[in-house]
């Protein structure tokens, strides 16, 4: 499966300084719990990036900023989406909370235009994902799920698999957990989520037909 390439064209000279600025702004913007969760996701994303040889500073920054718009109400998110030209389907009107990833990414890109596009994309894809996830996209999606403050759900097998299987295989395990949880709770599943699931299952079967999986493993 082809994946979008990472964009380093706007990588600032000092991501650590940008992280510090973003952290102060985020603390003023979200609830206490959301702030702690965001910091935990940032740390987990950095750990995953270290294991899978991805840019650590980008992973930490995207992880910290991923829930920039999370504390808005459903109505507020719909208005923010409409204002920024985000297409809203009938399904998203019933699942407006999913919009926070897209509206948040837009808001972050406007506040910090020096942040590279791949970081912004990882923020925008951390809820529903996409059929062509980059490695950074996968890192943020997984980190949001398995960060240590998360205590609900069967996350032990995903945490235990870090570094033992490829990043794509780990993402599929995480996405499978999301889908199973939605079904168990009788929740709506967005059609885009089904498209993502089908795309990765197709890829998984194509790999099996081609021979031993050659996904990206942990680098020593």
Reported confidence tier of residue 3, pLDDT bands at 50, 70, 90: very low
Predicted confidence (pLDDT) per residue in 99-151, tens digit: 999 999 999 999 999 999 999 999 999 998 999 999 999 999 999 999 999 98
DSSP string, 42-85: HHHHHHHHHHTT--HHHHHHHHHHTTTTTTS-HHHHHHHHHHTT
Residue 27 has pLDDT above 50, yes or no: yes
Reported confidence tier of residue 5, pLDDT bands at 50, 70, 90: very low
Reported confidence tier of residue 94, pLDDT bands at 50, 70, 90: low
Residue 13 has a CB neighbour count (10 Å cut-off) of: 7
Q: Is 58 exposed, middle or buried (0-12, 13-18, 19+ CB in 10 A)?
A: buried
The predicted pLDDT at position 165 comes to 97
Residue 28 has pLDDT above 70, yes or no: yes
The predicted pLDDT at position 36 comes to 98
Q: Where are the domains of the chain?
A: 15-210
Average pLDDT, stretch 166-176? 96
Q: Nearest 5°: phi and psi at 110?
A: -75, -40
The predicted pLDDT at position 204 comes to 83
CATH 3.30.750.24 fits 15-210, yes or no: no
Cα 83 from Cα 86, distance rounded (Å): 8
């Amino acid at each position: 499966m082809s994946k979008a390439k990472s964009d380093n064209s706007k990588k600032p000279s000092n991501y650590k300084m940008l992280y510090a600025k973003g952290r102060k702004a985020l603390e003023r913007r979200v609830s206490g719990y959301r702030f702690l969760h965001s910091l935990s996701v940032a740390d987990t994303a950095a750990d995953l990036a270290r294991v899978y040889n991805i840019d650590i500073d980008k992973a930490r920054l995207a992880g910290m900023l991923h829930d920039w718009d999370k504390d808005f109400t459903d109505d507020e998110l719909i208005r923010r989406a409409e204002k920024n030209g985000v297409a809203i389907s009938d399904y998203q009107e019933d699942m407006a909370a999913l919009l926070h990833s897209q509206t948040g990414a837009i808001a972050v890109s406007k506040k910090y235009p020096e942040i590279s596009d791949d970081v912004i994309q990882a923020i925008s894809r951390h809820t529903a994902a996409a059929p062509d996830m980059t490695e950074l996209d996968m890192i943020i999606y997984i980190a949001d799920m398995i960060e240590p403050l998360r205590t609900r759900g069967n996350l032990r097998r995903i945490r235990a698999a870090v570094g033992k299987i490829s990043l794509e295989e780990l993402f599929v395990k995480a996405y499978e957990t999301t889908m199973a949880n939605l079904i168990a709770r009788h929740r709506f599943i967005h059609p885009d989520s089904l498209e993502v699931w089908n795309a990765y299952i197709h890829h998984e079967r194509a790999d099996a037909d081609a021979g031993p999986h050659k996904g990206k493993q942990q680098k020593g």
